[in-house]
Amino acid sequence: MRNAWWRAIPRASGVTLVELLIVLAIVGSLALAVTPSLQGVMGRLALRSAARDFLATLHHARAAALARQARVVVAPLDGADWSSGWITFVDSNLNNRHDLGEAILIRQLALRGGIVATSRQSGGEAMPFIAYAANGYTRAGRWNWLSGTVTFRQGDEARAIVVNALGRARLTDAAPASPPVAPATSTDRLRAS
């Protein structure tokens, strides 16, 4: 019984420095493994947010044109590139450009995170603006109809806003950036056999 004195001393509880370092190494390697997937998720969220912001701008512009019974234009901030941001204004002189004295309704800053916005009218040329007439229809000039697509891209991901001639805009998943493959013709099928 004399040798049992060490049993009476309370034993210290806790973790050693080696155990703590092992746990930190495991947590660090898991964090490194998850980081790339989180960056992809954040990029997709930024792309979807930019497309939704543009869609909301178009809905607001159409509603403002109807409410004010005036022409309302959405145009790139720099006049050419939608990625530079956009401005929504009441176009009182019908020149599709913001001039001094015209009311600004919305101003959106430049897109970030490598998001690129491009536009195409139904005929294939770029859309330098989207104008809503007092009746809510989109117009290219004073009387010409306007319809087309504004596409937001980031890497392989893309979202598109399709605007029809009646002024209605909708959000869709865009086609991949790769060029389309021509459908096979009957002569191609005969050559293959």
Distance separating alpha carbons of residues 57 and 53, to the nearest angstrom: 6
The pair of three-digit structure tokens given for residue 58, joined into one six-digit string: 């178009």
User: Is the distance from CB of 88 to CB of 64 less than 8 angstroms?
Assistant: yes
- How far is CA 62 from each of CA 7, 54, 171, rounded to the nearest angstrom? 83, 12, 16
Give the number of other CB atoms < 10 A from CB of residue 2.
4
Q: Give the pLDDT of the chain (193 residues) as one tens digit per residue.
A: 566 665 666 666 777 888 888 999 999 888 777 766 777 778 888 899 999 999 999 999 999 999 999 999 999 998 889 999 999 999 998 888 899 999 999 999 999 888 999 998 887 888 889 999 999 999 877 667 788 899 999 988 899 999 998 989 999 987 645 444 444 444 444 444 4
What's the pLDDT at 30? 83
Which residue ranges make up each domain of the chain?
A: 37-173
- How far is CA 190 from each of CA 182, 187, 193, rounded to the nearest angstrom? 16, 5, 5
- How far is CA 19 from each of CA 10, 28, 31, 32, 76, rounded to the nearest angstrom? 22, 14, 19, 20, 58
What's the pLDDT at 187? 46
The pair of three-digit structure tokens given for residue 56, joined into one six-digit string: 């909301």
Give me the amino acid identity at 145: W
What's the pLDDT at 8? 63
DSSP per residue over 99-138, as a string? Answer: -TTSPEEEEEPPP-TT-EEEEEETTSS--S-EEE-TTS-E
The pair of three-digit structure tokens given for residue 6, joined into one six-digit string: 């060490």
What's the pLDDT at 193? 46
CATH superfamily of 37-173: minor pseudopilin epsh domain (3.55.40.10)
Residue 112 makes CB contacts below 8 A (sequence gap 6+) with 46
Q: Sign of the CA dihedral 92, 94, 99, 105?
A: positive
What's the pLDDT at 9? 64
What's the pLDDT at 14? 76
